[in-house]
Amino acid sequence: MKYAECLKCGQTSPRWSFFGNTLAALFKVLIGTLTGSKGLVADGIHSAADAMSSLFILVALKVADRPHDDKHPYGYGKIEYISTLCASIFLFVGAGSIFIDALKTFRQGVH
| Cβ neighbours of residue 33 closer than 8 Å, sequence gap 6 or more | 41
> 67 lies in a domain?
yes
Is the per-residue pLDDT at 105 higher than 90? no
> 12 lies in a domain?
no
What's the pLDDT band for 110 if we cut at 50, 70, 90?
low
> 24 lies in a domain?
yes
Q: State the pTM of this model.
A: 0.71
> 101 lies in a domain?
yes
Each residue's pLDDT tens digit, 3-51: 666 667 777 888 898 999 999 999 999 999 999 888 898 899 889 988 9
> 97 lies in a domain?
yes
Count of domains for the chain? 1
> 6 lies in a domain?
no
Residue range(s) defining the domain that contains residue 71: 19-108
Give the pLDDT of residue 31: 95
> 65 lies in a domain?
yes
> 40 lies in a domain?
yes
